[in-house]
Amino acid sequence: MSAPAIELLAIGDELLLGETLDTNSRWIAHRLARAGIRIAQTTTVGDEVGRIRTALAAALARSGTVVCTGGLGPTIDDVTRHAVAELYGRRIVIDEAWIDVLRERYRVRGIPMPEINRVQGELPEGARALPNPRGTAPAIVIDDPAIGMTVLLPGVPSEMRGFMDDVVVELLRERLGARSPILIRLLRTAGLSEAALADSVADLVHDTSPVSVAFLPHTAGVDLRLSCDGGDADARRRLEQLLVELRDRVGTAVYAEDDSDLAAVVGELLRARGLTLAVAESCTAGMLGKRLTDAAGASAWLLGGFIVYADAAKRDLLGVEAELLAEHGAVSEACARAMARGARRRVATDVGLSITGIAGPGGGSAEKPVGTTWIGIDTAAAAAARRFVFPGDRAEVRERATQAALDLLRRTLLRD
């Protein structure tokens, strides 16, 4: 797909210091992809006139159109306007109309406008200021046929998003003559490694042109992303056909065909079947309960749960027998089963779901290495437990354990 491309320039010392994650570039990339505009390159620089000018000049030379975020504030460290004015060889002028708007806003609130805000009216001569309904810094658009077009947006994410949605996406589409948005479809899978998934669909994804297929692994599983030029009817047909073939091949490992969370999918299955759930968590200590209640309305099927970190709590709260714990240990099939059964009985639900594992970094052994986790499930009809050894650090092991528990529950519900 060769859609027209622009570049992004994220500006701010805090981005280079690791204090702020550059979520602006991510959001803009996502937004523009759906509008049929490709991003050829993204650059990050600090609040330094020379660096901003050099990076912007290079980006304009490569791509002709650049969207910058950050450094438009009123304080001394916000220098983006000056760097841009230098690059375009323009003087800085003051947009008095915008200063009047700001002064009026302060008047309404009954406080005098701090003089420092006059900076917010500064812009390179000949540039266009776009009024900011959500903040004090206007966006600035500057265009010179010999240099290219630069759009300056405030760094504050909500203000940046407002400008993108209100004007900038349309402005870019007009400038680039972007024809049609990219069509993106998702198949979310759980319970398969990236390699296993790739292996099982190798022949289907061998040559998918004009459709692109990407494997996106993360702790929640592997997503398959299919995309194509949304304006190309043949490509769209090929994409839909491929989607069906992949779904059939991957089978029950597919839990969603949009960006739904696995917990929401499981919740919907419980609701549809009129079943109730109780959870018992050791190493995840509430993560499963949190995931299950992220979506509103969970009280219809999640009745309660237990955080049973110590053996004593597993005994006292869930009735896991002391002899069982002494013989098998807390991270064992027997304990996972007893925890699921205990949760189900004590809360009087249809289903009990348990997690007990070694999240690390300490506590592992040759027999039970870090990452070893047992997930148990207990229903009126059946009881089962599965062993996993999850890779990753403590946080990843806990996330993977939570996801595996949700997936075991999903697969159990689908079978019944």
User: Footprint of ligand ATP on this chain (CB under 6 A)?
Assistant: 10, 12, 14-15, 20, 22-25, 69-73, 78, 135-137, 154-157, 159
Residues in contact with Mg ion by the rule CB under 5 A: 12, 70-71
Nearer to ligand ATP, 49 or 198 (CB): 49
Q: What are the two backbone dihedrals, phi and then psi, of residue 151, each rounded to the nearest 5 degrees?
A: -115, 125
Nearer to ligand ATP, 72 or 358 (CB): 72
Cβ atoms of 375 and 364 within 8 Å: the answer is no
Nearer to ligand ATP, 135 or 181 (CB): 135
Measured in whole angstroms, how far is the alpha carbon of residue 150 from the centre of its chain?
28
Give CA separation, 202 vs 199, 249, 254, in Å. Answer: 5, 11, 16
Q: Taking the complex as a whole, how short is the minimal distance between the CB of residue 177 and ligand ATP, in angstroms? A: 27
Q: Taking the complex as a whole, how short is the minimal distance between the CB of residue 105 and ligand ATP, in angstroms? A: 14
Give CA separation, 70 vs 160, 214, 256, 300, in Å. Answer: 9, 31, 36, 44
Nearer to ligand ATP, 169 or 406 (CB): 169
Q: Taking the complex as a whole, how short is the minimal distance between the CB of residue 156 and ligand ATP, in angstroms? A: 4
Q: Taking the complex as a whole, how short is the minimal distance between the CB of residue 47 and Mg ion, in angstroms? A: 6
Q: Which of 358, 346, 378 is nearest to 284 (CA)?
A: 358
Nearer to ligand ATP, 75 or 193 (CB): 75
Q: Taking the complex as a whole, how short is the minimal distance between the CB of residue 352 and ligand ATP, in angstroms? A: 42
Nearer to ligand ATP, 159 or 229 (CB): 159
Could you give the CA distance from residue 125 to residue 359 in angstroms, rounded to a whole number?
A: 59
Could you give the CA distance from residue 346 to residue 364 in angstroms, rounded to a whole number?
A: 31
* Residue 220 binding partner per list Mg ion, ligand ATP, none, with a CB distance cut-off of 5 to 8 Å that depends on partner kind: none
Give CA separation, 189 vs 194, 290, 384, 412, in Å. Answer: 10, 21, 22, 16
DSSP 2-43: ---EEEEEEE-HHHHTTSS--HHHHHHHHHHHHTT-EEEEEE
* Residue 189 binding partner per list Mg ion, ligand ATP, none, with a CB distance cut-off of 5 to 8 Å that depends on partner kind: none
Q: Taking the complex as a whole, how short is the minimal distance between the CB of residue 157 and ligand ATP, in angstroms? A: 5
* Residue 334 binding partner per list ligand ATP, Mg ion, none, with a CB distance cut-off of 5 to 8 Å that depends on partner kind: none
